[in-house]
Amino acid sequence: MEKNWINFNNLPEALFKIFGELAHLKSLILENGASESGDKLMSIEETSVFLHVKKQTLYSYVSKGIIPHSKRAGRLYFSKNDLIVWVKDGNKRSFDVEEEARKIICKKKGGSHE
């Protein structure tokens, strides 16, 4: 039986191996969690293909808060289920009663120069 002792001489190699295994475990956890819920977390590239839009368009949507997303460790993730709901909802915008009332009042008074 071979023993895997970490010492000063093999420390860089051991750390490289540990980080590799940690990254693999993280991806397995993300995949497993997504498959259990019937959802899938997608990268910016996968989302671009899924929605048939350029990556730059997605970045614009994210910066404007238009598209549902998560950000972890500087990376963007998109839930496939959330994107499907977002696409199905279309371009529905929230209705601001006060703003609409101001517009109607301004029209009746002769308009405004907003």
**Amino acid 61: pLDDT:** 94
If asked whether residues 53 and 31 sit together in one domain, one would say no
Mean pLDDT of the region 15-41:
77
- Reading the block at residue 3, the tokens are 């023993």
Q: What band does 23 get if pLDDT is binned at 50, 70 and 90?
A: confident
- Would the pLDDT of 60 be above 60? yes
If asked whether residues 50 and 33 sit together in one domain, one would say no
Give a yes or no: residue 4 inside a domain: no
Beta-ladder partners of 20: none
**Amino acid 110: pLDDT:** 62
Give a yes or no: residue 1 inside a domain: no
Range of the domain at 58: 40-114
If asked whether residues 28 and 51 sit together in one domain, one would say no
Q: Provide the domain count of the chain.
A: 2
Question: How high is the mean pLDDT of the chain?
Answer: 81
Q: What is the residue-wise DSSP string for 5-51? A: ---TTTHHHHHHHHHHHHHHHHHHHHHHHHHHTT--EE-HHHHHHHH
d(CA 92, CA 41) in angstroms, rounded, equals: 24
Buried b (16+ CB within 10 A) or exposed e, 83-107: beebeeeeeeeeeeeeeeeeeeeee
pTM of the entire predicted model:
0.50
Q: What band does 56 get if pLDDT is binned at 50, 70 and 90?
A: very high
**Amino acid 12: pLDDT:** 87
If asked whether residues 64 and 98 sit together in one domain, one would say yes
d(CA 103, CA 114) in angstroms, rounded, equals: 10
Q: What band does 76 get if pLDDT is binned at 50, 70 and 90?
A: very high
**Amino acid 33: pLDDT:** 61
